[in-house]
Amino acid sequence: MGFLPRRDQGTKISEDQVYAALSTVQEPELGGDLVSRKMIKNVQIDGGKIAVTVELTTPACPLKDEIQADCERALRTIPGVTDVTIEFTANVRRNAGIPEQAVIPGVTNVIAVAAGKGGVGKSTVAANLAIALSQEGARVGLLDADIHGPSVPILLGMRGMGQPEVFQTPGGEPMIIPYERYGIKLISVGFLIDEQQPVIWRGPMVTQMLRQFIRNVNWAPLDYLVVDMPPGTGDVALTLAQSLPLSGALIVTTPQMMATADVVKAIQMFNRVNVPMLGIVENMAYFIAPDTGNRYDIFGTGGAARLAQELDLPLLGQIPLGMSVRAGSDEGVPAVLTDAPDAYAEVFRAVARQLAARISVMAFA
C-alpha cells in the first residue's frame, strides 16, 4: 500500500467499518448476520474501493442477488466509499445427522431423486438438476441406480460406452473412474451390466453393487451426488434408501391423482428409514402450446400443490411438458444445455437452486 497524502488520512476506510456495515446484513434464509455467520472471507480496501468475498452455503444459492444488493447497500453507507465489489465463493456443508462412518469419502451431500412409479420423468429431472447444479458452479456427480431401467446412458448420449476404467489404490482396492459428461461425473448401472441381458436382482447383488457405488467409485470431491433411484417402493429402492448416506430425498411426480397416491407411499418409505424429504417436483405440470401460447392443464392441476400442503413439504418447482425436454432426452443433450423455449432450462435451474437452498437449510438445522 502506498503512502496516502496527509489530507486523505482522515477518511481512510477501516476493516472495522466494513465488518460493522456487513453485520447489518441478514442471511435471508438461515437467519443471523453475515459477519456472525462467518460468511465474510476476504476484505480489501483500496482508498474508496471496497472488495468483499462472501462465502455462501451453496454456489446455487437462489438468494445470491438479494445478498449482493444488501451488501452493496450496507457498504455504501460508509463515508468515503466510491466502489463496491462483491464476490462469492461457496462451502457446501454436510447434513450433520449422517454418521461419519457412512459418509462417502469426499462427497458432501447425497440426494435421492425418487418417484412413486415409472414414467413421470424422474430420470429426466435427475439428469437436468445434476447438470443445472454444476452450471451454478457446484461439483456434481450423477449415480444412475435405477437398476431395472438405467436411462442415464441414453439421456446423456453415452450408450455403448462400455465399462468404465478401473485403477488400483495403493492399498490394492479397485476404484472405478466415473465418466465425465457435461461437467458432471457419472456412473450408471447401465455401464456395468450387459444391456442385452436381463438381470434379476437379488438382495446380495444389490448390496454388492451398492458397496461398489459407495466405496469403489472415485467420486471425490463432490458437493452433490444426485442418485436416480429405482421407481416405487420395492426391495431395491428400500435397500438403497436405507444404505445410501442420504442428505435427503426429492420426489418427482406428475399431476395425475394416481401418481400422487403412489407418491405418498414413496414418501412413507423414506420416512421409515429416517431420510428427510427435500420436497416435491411436479413434472409435466402443464403444456404451453408453442403456436398460440395457450396453457393446457393436460393432467389436471393442483395435485402436487395440494399434496405438498397436506404433507407440509415444499413444492420445489413445476416443470411444464416440453417437446424439447423430450427431444433433448432422446438425443442425449439434456434440456438445461439447450436454449429452446420449451426446454425450460431456466425452470430446471430454478428448481436446482431451490433444492440446493433446502439442503443448506437442513445442514444448519
Cα 235 from chain centre: 26
| Piece of 5-13, 94-102, 114-122, 198-206 that binds ligand ADP (CB under 6 A) | 114-122
Among 121, 232, 255, 303, binds ligand ADP (CB under 6 A): 121
In the bound state with ligand ADP, the residue whose beta carbon lies nearer, of 78 and 252, is: 252
Residue 145 near residue 229, CB atoms below 8 Å: yes
Among 130, 143, 187, 321, binds ligand ADP (CB under 6 A): 321
| Nearest distance in Å: CB 330, ligand ADP | 6
Pairwise CA distance, residues 349 & 352, whole Å: 5
| Piece of 46-54, 113-121, 213-221, 238-246 that binds ligand ADP (CB under 6 A) | 113-121
Q: Is the dihedral of CA 128, 129, 135, 140 positive or negative?
A: negative
Q: Does 119 bind ligand ADP (CB under 6 A)?
A: yes
Q: Does 189 bind ligand ADP (CB under 6 A)?
A: no
In the bound state with ligand ADP, the residue whose beta carbon lies nearer, of 109 and 124, is: 124
Give the start-end residues of each E strand in 150-300.
Answer: 166-168, 174-176, 179-181, 184-188, 222-228, 246-253, 277-288, 295-296
- Core vs surface per residue 170-184: b (16+ CB within 10 A) or e: eeeeebbebbebbeb
Pairing of strands 166-168, 174-176: antiparallel
Cβ-proximal residues to 131 (8 Å cutoff; 6+ apart), any chain: 140, 182, 183, 184, 334, 336, 337
| Nearest distance in Å: CB 178, ligand ADP | 20
- 125: cell is 429431472
Q: Does 148 bind ligand ADP (CB under 6 A)?
A: no
In the bound state with ligand ADP, the residue whose beta carbon lies nearer, of 109 and 253, is: 253
| Nearest distance in Å: CB 49, ligand ADP | 46
Pairwise CA distance, residues 142 & 185, whole Å: 6
Q: Does 302 bind ligand ADP (CB under 6 A)?
A: no
Cα 330 from chain centre: 23
Among 210, 237, 319, 359, binds ligand ADP (CB under 6 A): 319
| Nearest distance in Å: CB 326, ligand ADP | 4
| Nearest distance in Å: CB 319, ligand ADP | 5
Which residues, 152 to 181, sit near ligand ADP by CB under 6 A? none
Which DSSP letter does residue 316 get?
E
In the bound state with ligand ADP, the residue whose beta carbon lies nearer, of 283 and 354, is: 283
- 147: cell is 437398476
Concatenating the DSSP letter of every residue in 325-358 gives HHHHHHHT--GGG---GGG-HHHHHHHHHHHHHH
| Nearest distance in Å: CB 243, ligand ADP | 21
The full length of the chain comes to 365
In the bound state with ligand ADP, the residue whose beta carbon lies nearer, of 135 and 151, is: 151
| Nearest distance in Å: CB 116, ligand ADP | 10
- 331: cell is 438425443
Cβ-proximal residues to 168 (8 Å cutoff; 6+ apart), any chain: 174, 175
To the nearest 10 degrees (0 to 180), the angle between helices 15-22 and 64-75 is 130
In the bound state with ligand ADP, the residue whose beta carbon lies nearer, of 62 and 150, is: 150
SS3 letters across 165-202: CEEECCCCCEEECCEEECCEEEEEHHHHCCCCCCCCCC
Q: Does 184 bind ligand ADP (CB under 6 A)?
A: no
Which residues, 269 to 298, sit near ligand ADP by CB under 6 A? 283-284
Among 109, 123, 260, 354, binds ligand ADP (CB under 6 A): 123
| Piece of 120-128, 161-169, 196-204, 259-267 that binds ligand ADP (CB under 6 A) | 120-128
Which residues, 322 to 361, sit near ligand ADP by CB under 6 A? 322, 325-326, 329
Q: Residues in the site for ligand ADP, rule: CB under 6 A? A: 115, 118-124, 151, 231, 283-284, 319, 321-322, 325-326, 329
